[in-house]
Chains A and B, each alone.
Chain A
């Protein structure tokens, strides 16, 4: 039987880590590295003392107070820190005392500050993701390294370097001014979306890294609560809910990839779809009120929602989806969006129309190593009954895709259009 203290600490780790660290980091004037050490110590203290004294009614408040006291101890002990934070040394708070209600707003602001600091544009994109997972989600360096297929020492060095830069370069610990907010918020949402797609694309033997998907959903939920008037924050959460709703249908009983067209739609998570649709409606209403054109996360969510609403692949509102892609391209010009739009055109206006668009895109340098483009061409050629060119395109895609469920799917399709294909290729 699981130890209830261990369970409680694990639960608190999942839900409170980022909030505790964020508050301590504010007291330390944005020193996230020291705040992280104090937070770690508070969780270790919880494991020791909750067993003796019982699990506190508000674990988050207990952890915050304990971590704050650790920070105060350091400030008192270390002369350099004492000089830096003259105002910080106050009476030590009682860890078991309930926090005042006015503290809740402060905690909310702290979490936003931490998010914007971890995703600051002065940090390299891969560092933003690593710091977000480490400092806000509390993932261990080893877990982050595994998720991004990077050796652990490399990831440890990256995280250490980024924490040092935050302090040395004077990256401020605050939510940006309103004029900078849209751009900076987009950076934060991009990090969360990348965590989600890293989880969704899986890695190594796992098709979906559920831990990363759930962390991304947690982060998106926090942001949607903290910034309820930002359509893109709502839009991102809607996109994740509406995409992740199909998770159970993406693999068959043998662990093989099932494409959207062939998915058993009764396996889709209707509650998640309802949550996503509700968020979509709120995001569009908010967007209309501000007068700004819908952003890229909101539009991608609307496309995901259009698929989720359709009773079948054939009964999908393809012209509506093409229109959404047109708006998405205007908001976010991007070759990957163009390829997806071409596929939607194929189902709205016939495979040849889509194929013509894909043929034009195939000449683009920036799409050359992306397996999805030849795979999309192969699929439309197959639908047109042009088996020989379809087989060629499947082979092109197989030359670009890495091992895993997607590779296995493309091999299955190749065997359908070219029965000779399962023979070993010469030279292999």
Chain B
């Protein structure tokens, strides 16, 4: 039995926005290499992408009588959500081991609920 995990990648946005094209290339290569190691470990990547900086985020709150739209991310933090993967792993130990090798500062690992 396997579980899908969401890898939420948090990084310092300042360092991301200051990156040179060469640094971007390096980062992309590092992610490609990581994706290769995931497959080699027997896990499956179901998707993943980088996100535009949190300065481009808009938050919609729908709880009240009318939706409230605000500029900015849901939570303002120094390390912001910068990208994600959905990876199908054998168990949490495999997920944590793969998250540990991601080229990222902080990765939150969350199981995805199977709604089927």
Contacts and interface: CB of A to CB of B under 8 A. Distances in A.
B1 A169 contact: no
A122 B91 contact: no
Interface string B1-25: 1010100000000000000000000
Contacts of B90: 172
A172 B1 contact: no
A321 B95 CA distance: 44
A154 B106 CA distance: 30
Interface in A165-217: 168-172, 176, 180
Interface in B66-92: 89-92
Contacts of A171: 91-93
Contact of B92 (A29, A122, A180): A122
B96 A29 contact: no
B37 to A, nearest CB: 16
Contacts of B5: 170
Q: Tell me the interface secondary structure of chain B in the complex.
A: mixed
A168 B111 contact: yes
Contact of B111 (A120, A169, A172, A180): A169
A172 B96 contact: no
Nearest to A179: B97
Contacts of A180: 93
Interface string B30-52: 00000000000000000000000
A172 to B, nearest CB: 4
18 contacts: A29-B1, A120-B92, A122-B92, A122-B96, A168-B111, A169-B92, A169-B111, A170-B3, A170-B91, A170-B92, A170-B95, A170-B111, A171-B93, A172-B91, A172-B92, A172-B93, A176-B93, A180-B93
Interface of A: 29, 120, 122, 168-172, 176, 180
The 10 tightest CB contacts between A and B, nearest first, are: A172-B91, A170-B3, A170-B92, A170-B91, A171-B92, A169-B92, A172-B93, A169-B111, A168-B111, A122-B92
Given A169-B92, A172-B91, 6 more contacts: A29-B1, A120-B92, A122-B92, A122-B96, A168-B111, A170-B91
